[in-house]
Structure 1
Amino acid sequence: MASDARPGVDLNESLGPEYAAVIITTCSIAVITLLLRFYTRLFILRTLFPDDYCIIGGMIGTIGMGICYGITIIHGFGHHIEAITPEDLQMQAKASIGGLVFFHWSHAFVKSSILLQNLRLCVTTLEKRICYGALAVIIAEGFVWILLTFVSCTPFQAMWSPHLAKVSCINQTASYYSCAALIILADCFIIAFPAFLLRDSMLPRSQKWAVGAILALGGGACLVSILRMVYIYRSTNSTDSTWDKIPNSILGITEVNMGIILSSLATLRPLIKRIRPSLWAISNVPSTASCTHHNPTLQRRPRPANGDDSVLGRYSNNDGEDGSTTEKGCTCADGGRTDGAAPAELEKTEPEIIPPRSNNIVG
């Protein structure tokens, strides 16, 4: 044992098993949803997108976190500090550095994946610039935090050997609070950005809300980030750090896994529609790319000059997440068909064409 126990402290008590259970559970759910995402992309939509490749980087990061934090548990993390030897404390500190690097790595990849998903919905130059700008900020932020992890103490060995002479370290509490605040800010942007993209959509309001909610799922980890801020001060200013850091660590790995889980759930709509079409009312939203010639009320603003047909109203058509199909012979909501066959009541008359609202084009 490292030292005698304080009064009322049980040296055999440990939160390690609970922490390990959270790591295994959240990582397992994240892997399952990721596999379902790739099944949907490869076997239903038969295509992959940049955001799919990016989310793999996020999953690698969260698995790396799980491994590093598992090592800390093996070396006593979750026990009271009096029950841990100096050698184990050093191993915990070294593994925690790796876990922190993977934490920032995973956050950068997961948020980049969500932004790349939203980028396919951007029509105007303004929207694309905002999305690219946010993407650049997220990548730069992740790089800075990873770099800061390695320079937070001088010399570097002081991160696991605090008793070295002439040690200089940054304020860990301020660093953690700053990181958490920036993560929350990024999550808030991810939640709000779909509303900006759907602002000119002619979808019914209820369907706008549904589509926006699907796209904003990836920002749902914001709630965990906010909760984690409550425990930062306690975990960085505790005299029993190996015990008091457990809540913050649990929320940290839950946060990144929730980002993967929720962003992947947002891509499973074609799979859910195939299994249970009645589960989501929005499943009946027709593809405007194939059906607006039969139903003028579904028209949107014009496509970009480059002819990109990746937008379903303001929703991606070629990724299939709208739940519609552009296969020959599909039936539209108004009874029209994409193979050119018109319904009986429309055979003798030309449909009325409502001009798109070109004044909505920003760039």
Structure 2
Amino acid sequence: MSRLEYRNWLLYTFAVGAPLVLHGHLLEDMDTQEDRSAHVKSIVYIAFLSIVLPVATIAIGLRIWIRLRVVGALRKDDYILILAHTINLLCTGFWMYVQVRESKYEPRSPELFAALAIPFIICIGCYVFASLFVKIAIGLFFLRIAQKKWQKYIVLVPIWVYSICIVLTLSIFVFRCGLPINAIAILGSNNCYINAGIEQPLGLNIASLNAVCDWIFAAIPIHLLLTSGRMSRDSKLSICCIIALAAAGSVVSIIRLPYFIGSTFDVRVFETNPVILFLSILETAVGTIAISLATLKPLLRIIRPMIKADAHVPEGIAQGQGGPPPKCRTDWLYTTKTDRLTSRDIDLRHMRGVGILPDITLDATNVTRDDDAREQGKDSRGGSAVTTMRSTRIEIGSIDGIVGKGYH
């Protein structure tokens, strides 16, 4: 080879080979960048859940405290909501385990599927049951608001439809490869009885139904807002809060919809589904927070007297003339100190409403009962008893019973 030919060969090698080598380094850097990006996203997701889930736990704790303080016992929807939140925490644990352990294995490798397929499926199953129980708890909340038969059907029909659809979805997912159940085949095989692309329509269906159920439930407080002509400004504000809380969970469902596009059960399942599961956990937590906050209005009745205690000092006490003993914190339920007879006559379990709706669900039966009690107090104790009964009724009407018809 002559010197000229050798020089031309070097130029050709540099011109063609250098870009290839540079391209290879760029691809390697890109893979590293993608890995770093995925790692950062996982940290962000975990940090976000570490804030939202404790908030949901605190909200449920306050709900339980209010129930025990006012009603004296927990009810079915309370137990269902506690169970849903516990399952959602379990789902979060499995999801975090998969996220942390995934980086230890080669992407799309058999070792990855062998190690994480079962925890991944358990995570999906936990989400399904947590979402179902939260929806039932929300439905029971709105069922107590419903006063007419058609309003009850508006609540019950979506609950049944959602329950049937989500159970069928889980069954199709678990048994799509037949029996015996093979976790690795369910997540990574394209040769099962049910096509791997079924994940996309199933996910879109459940997320859409979740949002639609929340919107349908909101129709009941909207109807109360439009048809009641004797509601105060506070009552209307309370109903608007219910509508906003009902739509809170549906926002996350809508955000989750685009992530189902292109999702499938194949070797990429661990790469395409973490965001979907993260949003699913977040959706359940938001629903838990919303339905818990909807029952916390009596808590304001405890805090408000403490803040305004100095503004309500009787004039006689201010002048040193004496007066009734100061009201302790256990008397927060009443605006005035009532005698034992009056206190025993007040049965909280027959109070209407659900706590966040002040004095808009009282029917003629309640009014008649209060009138009879007022007349009885007038005959036995005179005018002061009438004042006491009116004051007590005003406060109870403001709280409007956290218990309602569902607690009879």
TM-score between the two structures when normalised by the length of structure 1: 0.69
Q: How far, CA to CA, are the matches of 1:148 and 1:213 in structure 2?
A: 39
Task: State the Cα distance separating 1:85 from its structure 2 match.
Answer: 4.3
Counterpart in 2 of 1:99?
A: 123
Amino acid at match of 2:242: L
Q: Tell me which of 155, 165, 172 is aligned to 1:131.
A: 155
Residues 269 and 321 in structure 1, CA contact (< 8 A), matched pair in contact too: yes
Task: State the Cα distance separating 1:58 from its structure 2 match.
Answer: 1.5
Residue 188 of structure 1 pairs with residue 220 of structure 2: no
Amino acid at match of 1:130: I
Counterpart in 1 of 2:204?
A: 177
Q: Tell me which of 44, 51, 58 is aligned to 2:84.
A: 58
Task: State the Cα distance separating 1:229 from its structure 2 match.
Answer: 0.7
Amino acid at match of 2:158: A
Residues 62 and 253 in structure 1, CA contact (< 8 A), matched pair in contact too: yes
Q: Deviations over 1:75-104 (max 9, x none)?
A: 21xx59855643223433322221221212
Task: State the Cα distance separating 1:130 from its structure 2 match.
Answer: 3.0
Residue 159 of structure 1 pairs with residue 181 of structure 2: no
Q: Tell me which of 236, 257, 268 is aligned to 1:209.
A: 236
Task: State the Cα distance separating 1:220 from its structure 2 match.
Answer: 0.9
Counterpart in 1 of 2:4?
A: none
Residues 270 and 323 in structure 1, CA contact (< 8 A), matched pair in contact too: no
C-alpha spacing 1:199/1:323, structure 2 compared with 1 (3 Å): closer
Q: How far, CA to CA, are the matches of 1:269 and 1:337 in structure 2?
A: 30
Q: Deviations over 1:105-144 (max 9, x none)?
A: 1111111111111222222222233333333333323322
Residue 19 of structure 1 pairs with residue 36 of structure 2: no
Q: Tell me which of 35, 43, 50 is aligned to 2:61.
A: 35
Residue 9 of structure 1 pairs with residue 50 of structure 2: no
- Name the SS for the 2:31 alignment partner: coil
C-alpha spacing 1:81/1:257, structure 2 compared with 1 (3 Å): same
Counterpart in 2 of 1:111?
A: 135
Residues 127 and 197 in structure 1, CA contact (< 8 A), matched pair in contact too: no
Task: State the Cα distance separating 1:261 from its structure 2 match.
Answer: 0.7
Task: State the Cα distance separating 1:34 from its structure 2 match.
Answer: 0.6
Q: How far, CA to CA, are the matches of 1:227 and 1:337 in structure 2?
A: 57
Q: How far, CA to CA, are the matches of 1:136 and 1:310 in structure 2?
A: 28
Counterpart in 2 of 1:354?
A: none
Between the aligned residues of both structures, percent identity stands at: 21
Q: How far, CA to CA, are the matches of 1:205 and 1:197 in structure 2?
A: 12
C-alpha spacing 1:41/1:233, structure 2 compared with 1 (3 Å): same
Amino acid at match of 1:255: E
Residues 88 and 285 in structure 2, CA contact (< 8 A), matched pair in contact too: yes
Matches within 5 A, 1:294-313: 309-311=350-352
Structure number with bigger Rg: 2
Amino acid at match of 1:245: N
Amino acid at match of 2:98: T
Residues 215 and 246 in structure 2, CA contact (< 8 A), matched pair in contact too: no
Q: Deviations over 1:265-286 (max 9, x none)?
A: 111111133124699xxxxxxx
Q: How far, CA to CA, are the matches of 1:82 and 1:116 in structure 2?
A: 47
* Structure 1 residue runs without a partner (length 5+): 280-289, 291-307, 327-331, 347-363
Counterpart in 1 of 2:100?
A: 74
CA RMSD of the aligned region, Å?
A: 3.7
Counterpart in 1 of 2:275?
A: 247
Q: How far, CA to CA, are the matches of 1:5 and 1:223 in structure 2?
A: 39
Q: Deviations over 1:276-332 (max 9, x none)?
A: 4699xxxxxxxxxx9xxxxxxxxxxxxxxxxx9553xxxx0xx544468x9xxxxx9
State which drifts further: 66-75 or 193-202. 193-202
Residues 136 and 159 in structure 2, CA contact (< 8 A), matched pair in contact too: yes
Q: How far, CA to CA, are the matches of 2:218 and 2:105 in structure 1?
A: 40
* Structure 2 residue runs without a partner (length 5+): 1-24, 308-333, 335-348, 363-369, 379-384, 391-408
Q: How far, CA to CA, are the matches of 1:151 and 1:197 in structure 2?
A: 44
Counterpart in 2 of 1:47?
A: 73
C-alpha spacing 1:260/1:339, structure 2 compared with 1 (3 Å): farther
Residue 88 of structure 1 pairs with residue 112 of structure 2: yes
Residues 106 and 112 in structure 2, CA contact (< 8 A), matched pair in contact too: no
Counterpart in 2 of 1:219?
A: 247
Amino acid at match of 1:87: E
Task: State the Cα distance separating 1:190 from its structure 2 match.
Answer: 2.2
Q: How far, CA to CA, are the matches of 1:124 and 1:261 in structure 2?
A: 27
TM-score between the two structures when normalised by the length of structure 2: 0.62
- Higher relative helix content: 2
Residues 81 and 240 in structure 1, CA contact (< 8 A), matched pair in contact too: no
Matches within 5 A, 1:220-235: 220-235=248-263
Q: How far, CA to CA, are the matches of 1:310 and 1:145 in structure 2?
A: 40
Q: How far, CA to CA, are the matches of 1:132 and 1:263 in structure 2?
A: 17
Residues 33 and 261 in structure 1, CA contact (< 8 A), matched pair in contact too: yes
Amino acid at match of 1:30: A
C-alpha spacing 1:126/1:241, structure 2 compared with 1 (3 Å): closer
- Name the SS for the 1:120 alignment partner: helix
